[in-house]
Amino acid sequence: MFQISLKKHRLTDKFLLLLSMNEQAQAQVEDFDITQAKTHELYLEVGANYFKYAVVNPENKAVRLLSHKASNLYNGLHDDWLRSHFAKTKISLSSQKFTFVPSALFHESATQNFVKYIGATDHDEVCVHHLTDAQLTIIYALPKLQLDKIHHYFPNAEIYPQIAPLFKGINFGFSQIFGKQIFINLRDTYAEILIMADKQFVFYNLFEYQNQDELLYFALLCAQENDLKPASTTLKISGLLGADSELMQRLQHYFTHTEMIDQDSLPLNTSQFEKPIVSSHFSLLALHLCGL
């Protein structure tokens, strides 16, 4: 099986605060306000203990607002932006209950055969998503209660499993590179690890980790199980992690070619933010590519 607040800050000087997972912050460009929501798209990423969203102009692909909150989404639905009407809403939801099947072998009628295999219960809804570029179908389970709430508050939203935007973003930005690449996307206390080899999808898993040692262990284990040599493999990091952080330095000790995801790896205009935002919010912003 493939697996795996700071108070609101207005960017009058085009400056974006670097956020940490323990902070709550919101930033928007100077000439943008909530009355313009209906012509923009909302991208929302929901984790177990956090949610974050971006507002993007679909015409010029400009990111207009970013928000991250270390809180349960349903405690934050008083947020005026989340209650606004947008031209389109895309949401990624996390699940540890999933598996992959080659699309050529998948039949919709066989979906229920995977219920026990992925650990789904009567309280879950089993869903299907096709990763067309990888020729894979992901079968995953989400709590029915969560889906009911999402459909209630965002009735016209497009729903995606957490791997969808991550894979779409990586496939867009890095699929033309030969050789082996490991991507680690940090989500609160979870890490997604995805491996590409010679432009092909190889591996994916989602791990919960408690400390840096556990994350290093998972990264090295994934490399070993996929016959990768850390010293000669490129490792790209995304998520709320600074390039000079202790974790980054520890990863570089084993994976010599370790760096943050490139700022230009997504087809979005982020020029109104002086600080890099793509590496910090890669999986969120990559929702732009889903459904295209």
Span 21-41, pLDDT tens digits: 445 677 788 889 999 999 999
The boundaries of the domain holding residue 89 are 9-93+269-289
Answer for the pair 246, 212: CB distance below 8 angstroms, yes or no.
yes
| pLDDT given for residue 125 in this prediction | 95
Cα maximum dimension of the chain:
55
| Domain presence at residue 82 | yes
Residues ≥6 apart with Cβ < 8 Å to 143: 123, 124, 125
| pLDDT given for residue 157 in this prediction | 97
Residue 6 pLDDT exceeds 80: no
Model confidence at 4, in pLDDT bands (50, 70, 90)? very low
| Domain presence at residue 161 | no
Q: Which two tokens stand for residue 229?
A: 């040599």
Are residues 279 and 208 part of one domain? no
SS (H, E, C) the chain: CCCCCCCCEEECCCCCCCCCCCCCEEEEECCCCHHHHHHCEEEEEECCCCEEEEEEECCCCEEEEEEEECCCHHHCCCCCCCCCCCCEEEEEECCCCEEEEEHHHCCHHHHHHHCCCCCCCCCEEEEEEEEHHHCEEEEEEEEHHHHHHHHHHCCCCEEEECHHHHHHHHHHHHCCCCCEEEEEEEECCEEEEEEEECCEEEEEEEEECCCHHHHHHHHHHHHHHCCCCHHHCEEEEECCCCCCCHHHHHHHHHCCEEEECCCCCCCCECCCCCCCCCCCCHHHHHHHHCCC
Residue 20 pLDDT exceeds 90: no
* Mean model confidence pLDDT for the chain: 87
Report the CATH number at residue 253. 3.30.420.260
Answer for the pair 165, 289: CB distance below 8 angstroms, yes or no.
yes
R_g over Cα of the chain: 19
Arithmetic mean of pLDDT, 281-292 = 95
Model confidence at 1, in pLDDT bands (50, 70, 90)? very low
Whole-model pTM above 0.85? yes
| Domain presence at residue 154 | no
Position of tokens 């570029």? 133
What's the total number of domains in the chain?
2
Answer for the pair 282, 260: CB distance below 8 angstroms, yes or no.
no
| pLDDT given for residue 245 in this prediction | 85
Model confidence at 123, in pLDDT bands (50, 70, 90)? very high
| pLDDT given for residue 18 in this prediction | 39
- Class of residue 122 by CB neighbours under 10 A (exposed 0-12, middle 13-18, buried 19+): exposed
Range with lowest mean pLDDT among 14-23, 61-70, 185-194, 267-276: 14-23
Are residues 254 and 183 part of one domain? yes
| Domain presence at residue 28 | yes
Pick the more confident residue, 223 or 276: 223
| Domain presence at residue 240 | yes
Are residues 181 and 247 part of one domain? yes
| Domain presence at residue 128 | no
Are residues 283 and 210 part of one domain? no
Arithmetic mean of pLDDT, 269-276 = 83
Are residues 31 and 80 part of one domain? yes
| pLDDT given for residue 242 in this prediction | 67
Q: How many residues does the chain have?
A: 292
